[in-house]
Structure 1
Amino acid sequence: MGLGLAVGLYGAAFGAAADAAGLAVWQAVVLSALMFTGASQFALVGVLGAGGGGPAAIGSALLLGTRNTLYGVRLLPLLEPRGWWRRLGAAHWVIDETTALAVAAPDRRQARLAFVVGGATLYLTWNATTVAGALGAAALGETARAALDAVVPAAFLALLWPRLQRGYPEAAVQRRVALAGAAVALLLTPVVPPGVQVVAAAVAVALAGRPRPAAVTS
């Protein structure tokens, strides 16, 4: 719940960005309710705000959203939602934060609980603050924007940090994955369209996280 409330506040920044891009309040609300994946939402309004057309904006949003497919593959055997309506509802909440919460849980029961509670808290908070941001965009000063910008990376660092400690299982693999993903994303961000570095980083971390072959002993 703490993570959902903290990251959900960032919805205010999206509401303000949507207003700056020329979207109506209802359009910002629909995007948060139906798309509900922050990076894709920001990509879409960012392209529109820069003067890009609808196809370019949608393409950027879809490209960034492809990572959620990888998350879904990882979460399906962990959550095992039964029935098409549960699968549909769970798929709508498959985002960075809920995936991190579920994967970090010590067992399947707590993974499901973390996914549902984290997803519900974040969804409600994100949508409420989207409305607030869209309505009060003019009152959101530079200091408030900077503070909101720090919320998401701080939350991710808090989730990631315990997995990098020596006592965590396979900590060396976790560190290789984190460093590879960060390096690829940082190197590509200045030279590729939004979203490409995310997909490339996913490929890099898959390679970095491959199990090493067991040593052969005589």
Structure 2
Amino acid sequence: MLQQVPASAPHFPAASLARGARESAALAAVVAAYGVVLGAIAAGRGLALGELLGMGAAVFAGAAQFVAVGLWERPLPVAEMVLAVAAVNLRYLLMSAALAPLFEGRPLWARLAGVHLVADENWAVTMAAMRRGGADPGFLLGGGLAVLGGWLAGCAAGHALGAVLPRPERLGLDFAVTAVFLCLLRGLWRDARRDAAPWLVAALASATAAAVLPGRWYVLAGALAGALVAAVDDGEAAA
């Protein structure tokens, strides 16, 4: 039975918002770096600054936005863009499900406000905090706001520099995404007995899917394969 949170209790306490923002600040700075890359690409594709920032606030999913901007041309291939972005973002179903204990007893509006700002970065930071018993919806939202601020600032800077910035990969900016995920993985690692098999299976499934499937389906393939192995392992441990 779910525990109902008292109506007088704040769902997003100011102290938790501040702590979540602090713990995600370093990642927000890195997110800003690859926001610059997206902004530069978007400017070259003809997106107006308002369109770019509006998409960033509404979608708030960097990988999906890279896919959408990569497909951006006139006339817009709407169906292809929607399907591609949906495939990339399906992983958020699993990520949001993992955060369900954080929102037990909370009203729907609080759940929607919290999960809208779930990104890979603040999700990983929040999951690590949950394992330490130090997370609540305010912590998640504070981290999300920090990452969103960095993302939009980076996108705006990249858009302004788009006309004069050389190809992002020549500056090494494209490695920023990889660097972020390596940091996140280190924070989520518990021990080899519990994590080695799911992570290895996820990597193999993702690499295989990338080789044989078009588009970004390898993201979902890796996530589902790793989650399945983790669920089986946890079930056997519980038994």
TM-score under structure 1 normalisation?
0.85
Identify the match of residue 207 of structure 2 among 181, 186, 189: 186
Partner of 1:213: 236
Answer yes or no: is the 8 Å Cα contact 2:31–2:154 preserved in 1.
no
Answer yes or no: is the 8 Å Cα contact 2:43–2:159 preserved in 1.
yes
Q: Which moved more, 1:189-198 or 1:178-187?
A: 189-198
1:45 equivalent to 2:69? Answer yes
Identify the match of residue 197 of structure 1 among 218, 231, 234: 218
Answer yes or no: is the 8 Å Cα contact 1:99–1:115 preserved in 2.
yes
Percent of aligned positions with the same letter in both sequences?
31
Give a deviation string over 1:104-142, Cα, whole Å, max 9, x none.
Answer: 124343365652332111101111111111121122223
Q: How many residues align?
A: 212
C-alpha separation in 2, matches of 1:85 and 1:4: 25
Q: How big is the shift at 1:40?
A: 0.8
Partner of 2:148: 123
SS of residue in 1 equivalent to 2:134: helix
Unaligned runs of 5+ in 1: none
Matches within 5 A, 1:137-216: 137-142=162-167, 146-161=171-186, 163-164=188-189, 168=190, 170-209=191-230, 210-211=232-233, 213=236
Amino acid at match of 2:185: L
Partner of 2:132: 107
1:58 equivalent to 2:82? Answer yes
Distance 1:111 1:174, change over 3 A: farther
Q: Which moved more, 1:20-29 or 1:119-128?
A: 20-29
Matches within 5 A, 1:64-79: 64-79=88-103
TM-score under structure 2 normalisation?
0.78
C-alpha separation in 1, matches of 2:237 and 2:77: 52
1:21 equivalent to 2:45? Answer yes
C-alpha separation in 1, matches of 2:172 and 2:86: 27
Q: How big is the shift at 1:51?
A: 8.1
Unaligned runs of 5+ in 2: 1-24
Q: How big is the shift at 1:52?
A: 6.6
SS of residue in 1 equivalent to 2:99: helix
Partner of 2:10: none
C-alpha separation in 1, matches of 2:219 and 2:209: 9
Distance 1:143 1:121, change over 3 A: same
Give a deviation string over 1:1-41, Cα, whole Å, max 9, x none.
Answer: 11122123211111112222222221111111111000111
SS of residue in 2 equivalent to 1:213: helix
